Amino acid sequence: MEQPATSASPLLAQLEYLLPTTQRPYNYMYPPPRGAAWQNASYAHATVALADARLAREPLSIDRQGFELHHAPSQVRDFQDREEIVRVYYPEVLALALAVTGADRGYVFDHLLRQREPGVPQAFGRRDGHRPGAAGRVHNDFTPASAQRRLLAELGAQRVPPTVRRYAIVNLWRSIRHPVLDAPLAVCDARTVAPNELVPSDIHYPERSGEIYQAIHHPRHAWSYFPAMTRDEVLIFKQFDSAPAPVAGCTPHAAFAHPHAPAGAPPRESIEIRCLVVYEDQEKLI
């Protein structure tokens, strides 16, 4: 039987979580230096119930649950064309990020194309010599420390200027081809994650290292996803906010193998953009 595009009964799927550890976790995204292991922590799959976010009863908000879906067709013709992405897509997503967050200024600083590889989504979607695959390990792309480093880098400043009243980092995620059936992105309601379930971790790339959060499982985490996201839709989700709780700060996320994906579903191809937004203190600007 074909699964309907949306469904009221939750879907059960596996997501990979960090197991509690006393060491600071790290992961290499390239062959580690002599003698070092790829990673120093243990992980386990947990079965989670995924709600259909298209049927959410309460309105979704970037500042409450931490994520929203927008109908936002793009003028980009070829997402493989880096120049076109920077020229056409960056301004489009920046405008959307500002409209959704209500911030005054923004900076698109990163993008990543992914193509799902065969099998279940791997940790962070590492694939040597290819576009990364889907990332099946629960994480949040920034911590307060790495978010502040990013802010200072974008502003070319040593300290946070007094004119910055608030700043946030959001990701904007879309399919670049077919509706996503095989490896959708699941997002966790920011309100259901406790601070002690988020563990700062190092992630080493050939050219730099970053600090992200990995997450420890808790059954209260409320997961959902948007079935069959099309190329005309954007999922925007919060990765950091300098505003205190209850404003959503982190939205842990991970790809999952959809248990009802039709056999032969084309591999998911997606683009994700990271965008820093700044709310200015109007009084200090004068």
Q: Nearer Cβ to ligand OGA, position 141 or 189?
A: 141
DSSP state of 130: S
227 makes contact with ligand OGA (CB under 6 A): no
What minimum distance in Å lies between the beta carbon of 147 and Fe ion? 14
What minimum distance in Å lies between the beta carbon of 253 and Fe ion? 6
**With CB cut-offs between 5 and 8 Å by kind, which of ligand OGA, Fe ion, none does residue 134 bind?**
ligand OGA
Stretch that binds Fe ion, among 6-14, 135-143, 227-235, 260-268 (CB under 5 A): 135-143
**With CB cut-offs between 5 and 8 Å by kind, which of Fe ion, ligand OGA, none does residue 270 bind?**
ligand OGA
185 makes contact with ligand OGA (CB under 6 A): yes
Using CB under 5 A, which of 16, 68, 117, 141 touches Fe ion?
141
**With CB cut-offs between 5 and 8 Å by kind, which of ligand OGA, Fe ion, none does residue 114 bind?**
ligand OGA
Where would I find the H helices in the chain?
82-84, 90-101, 144-155, 282-285
Phi, psi dihedral angles at 17 (to 5 degrees): -115, 155
198 makes contact with ligand OGA (CB under 6 A): no
Can you spell out the DSSP letters for 94-107?
HHHHHHHH--SEEE
Residues contacting 34, CB < 8 A, separation 6+: none
d(CA 137, CA 45): 9
Using CB under 6 A, which of 67, 89, 167, 173 touches ligand OGA?
173
Phi, psi dihedral angles at 213 (to 5 degrees): -105, 135
Using CB under 6 A, which of 226, 270, 276, 278 touches ligand OGA?
270
69 makes contact with ligand OGA (CB under 6 A): no
d(CA 241, CA 60): 17
d(CA 24, CA 279): 32
Dihedral over Cα of 85, 88, 89, 95: its sign: positive
Residue that the structure tokens 């040593």 belong to: 158
Structure tokens at 203: 């992630």
Give the x/- contact pattern for ligand OGA in 111-150, rule: CB under 6 A. Answer: ---x----------x--------xx-----x---------
- Asked if 138 contacts 251 with a C-beta cutoff of 8 angstroms, the reply is no
Return residues touching Fe ion (CB under 5 A): 141
Return residues touching ligand OGA (CB under 6 A): 114, 125, 134-135, 141, 171, 173, 185, 253, 255, 270, 272
